[in-house]
Amino acid sequence: MSETKNAANGNTGNTGNTGNTVRTGTPSAGPGLDISRRKLLGTVGAVGVGGLALGAAGGAAAYAAVEGPDDTSPLASVGSTEVMFHGKHQAGISTPLQSTGHLIAFDLAPGAGRKEAAALMRRWSTTARALMAGEPSGSADTGVALDAGPSSLTVTFGFGHSFFDRTQLTDRRPAQLDPLPDFSSDQLDARRSNGDLWVQIGADDALVAFHALRAIQHDAGAAATVRWQMNGFNRTPGATAKPMTARNLMGQIDGTNNPKPADPDFDERIFVPDTAQPAWMAGGSYAVVRRIRMLLDTWEKLPLTEQEQAVGRRKSDGAPLSGGTETTKLQLDKFGPDGKPVIALNAHARIAAPEQNGGAAMLRRAFSFHDGIAADGTPDAGLLFVAWQADPLKGFVPVQRKLDRGDALSAFLRHEASGLFAVPGGPRAGEYVGQRLLES
């Protein structure tokens, strides 16, 4: 196991047996790394010692230092963090959550098949490896991220159910990729669902993420066209005084009960074992992707106590209503003076708890989104839900079925798009993502 630490926010995570290495810290000066203080304008003025925001005087001093034409210093740690492209698993699954994300699905162009798909995956892998290392994407690089370091960039690739029909590889399509069942809360837009190919991009700098997005779109060339794209965000590293679980747009701490890489059964729950079939999915995972609109105008009118009862946790610190701190185990059998369960029977935390679902668990790695105001005048905002598991029929499906039948949050959520993608294991040195499928 290898421990990783982002010095900008003090957030320490354990990569477990992911096979992807994360390089942190300050790069030494050298070719391509002699980085002037001008490049720190977006980070040094906002992040101080230990990741705390500088005061007005500190910010002004940092800005003045940036203007020194001959003064040089290394890249700040937020920008210097590099996630390795090669490894047992693809990056972007157990990688610590980044502040900016893009989800994009492609369909292969008419007439494109296995040969064109292999060439595309080779191009995409070459580009992703370079960008994740903080290098230009090639001769057509736009220069958007010219001044930045890797910034924890990850680019993750997956295949949808229809990909195997288009490439005549249906005999190698995993059973786990069968379409998800219908749920009563679904109001899905087919135009923003599914797709032949799926790409997840994450970074701790918005320009670095956008640069990768444009490079991936450019590399698609005539082989594939964009089916849909969704843009998301999370809290920026260093924005809180100490590392914290992310909050969603309802203001709730979201992700407390996520499996941890240090858990002894983490790999078993999240990654496909080496002995599984089809063999090309060894070390891979399955991603359930959902655009979940939050009815924020309605939610925000609820009194705090009713919001907490619907979730089953305190809004202030994420602690269960049964007591303790955020990480305290739920006491589902605790009753109040009125004889009712302290955590309501329809509370989201109760229904989604692994112990209520035969141990079913998934690694939720979501981004928030806000796409302006909808036609009805309400915020078009919510959660780009991305859940990782070794088998969606044992992870997402049983939990969502229970939530669909009686989750108190359902009245404030609208599932508007959905997709399921097979994400193969990480490429070995010299390989491209999906090579074991497309060339076996």
Measured between alpha carbons, how far is 72 from 293 in angstroms, rounded to an integer?
A: 45
> What is the chain's percent helix, strand, coil content, to nearest 5?
25, 20, 50
Q: Which helix (H) or strand (E) holds 131?
A: helix 114-132
Measured between alpha carbons, how far is 369 from 167 in angstroms, rounded to an integer?
A: 33
Structure tokens that stand for 15 in this block: 């990569």
How many other C-beta atoms lie within 10 A of the C-beta of residue 430? 7
Measured between alpha carbons, how far is 96 from 12 in angstroms, rounded to an integer?
A: 9
Assess whether 182 carries a catalytic annotation: no
Residue tagged active-site, from 107, 196, 254, 267: 254
Q: Which of 311, 377, 323 is nearest to 347 (CA)?
A: 311
Measured between alpha carbons, how far is 123 from 432 in angstroms, rounded to an integer?
A: 8
At position 102, the amino acid (one-letter code) is H
CA angle 425, 421, 364 (to 5 degrees): 85
Residues 6+ apart with CB under 8 A from 182: none
SS3 assignment for 330-357: CCCCCECCCCCECCCCCCHHHHHCHHHC
The residues annotated as belonging to the active site are: 254
